[in-house]
């Protein structure tokens, strides 16, 4: 007879999922338009993190010099050998490979959308009795 898994290896708490990220390159989304990518060395119950070989990306929004109200987003990249991140300031923690997969799929979906200015809109579809209408009218 096969052994039944008693669930001892399954994560019991959300922080058990963070334990699975130890010694893995992770992506951390921070407050204040900051992103971190680095190897997770340690964490605690407050979700404070210690990251190594960190690349920090900061997005700075500046108003353009002209008075047209346009905003310019500049990117500042910093590298650190070791970084302590207070748990209060982090929002998302995920594996980099998972984040890149989701980001690439979202980018493909965004790029494949048609330009809304070039779409020719049809008349709104009204609800009809399906027994009396043909397939051409429903499409």
Does the residue 135 lie in any domain?
no
- Name the residue range of residue 49's domain: 14-104
Of the candidates 49, 48, 36, 39, the residue with the CA atom closest to the CA atom of residue 79: 36
Check: pTM over 0.85? Answer yes or no: no
CATH of the domain at 62: 2.30.30.100
Tally of domains in the chain: 1
In whole angstroms, give the CA distance from residue 119 to residue 137.
20
3-class SS letters over 41-90:
EEECCCCCEEEEEEEEEEEEEEECCCCCCCEEEEEEEEEEEEEEECHHHE
In order along its 139 residues, the chain shows pLDDT tens digits of 444 555 555 667 777 778 888 888 888 888 888 899 999 999 888 888 999 999 999 988 887 777 777 778 889 999 999 999 888 877 777 766 655 544 444 444 444 444 555 545 444 545 555 555 555 554 5
């Amino acid at each position: 007879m096969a052994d039944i898994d008693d669930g001892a290896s399954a994560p019991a708490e959300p922080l058990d999922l963070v334990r699975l990220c130890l010694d893995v390159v992770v992506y951390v989304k921070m407050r204040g338009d900051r992103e971190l990518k680095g190897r997770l060395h340690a964490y605690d119950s407050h979700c404070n993190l210690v990251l190594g070989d960190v690349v920090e990306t900061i997005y700075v929004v500046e108003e353009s010099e002209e008075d047209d109200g346009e905003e310019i987003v500049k990117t500042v990249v910093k590298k650190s050998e070791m970084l302590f991140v207070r748990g209060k300031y982090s929002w998302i923690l995920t594996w980099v490979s998972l984040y890149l997969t989701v980001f690439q799929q979202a980018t493909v979906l965004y790029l494949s959308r048609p330009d809304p200015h070039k779409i020719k809109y049809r008349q709104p579809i009204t609800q009809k009795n399906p027994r009396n209408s043909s397939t051409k009218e429903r499409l």
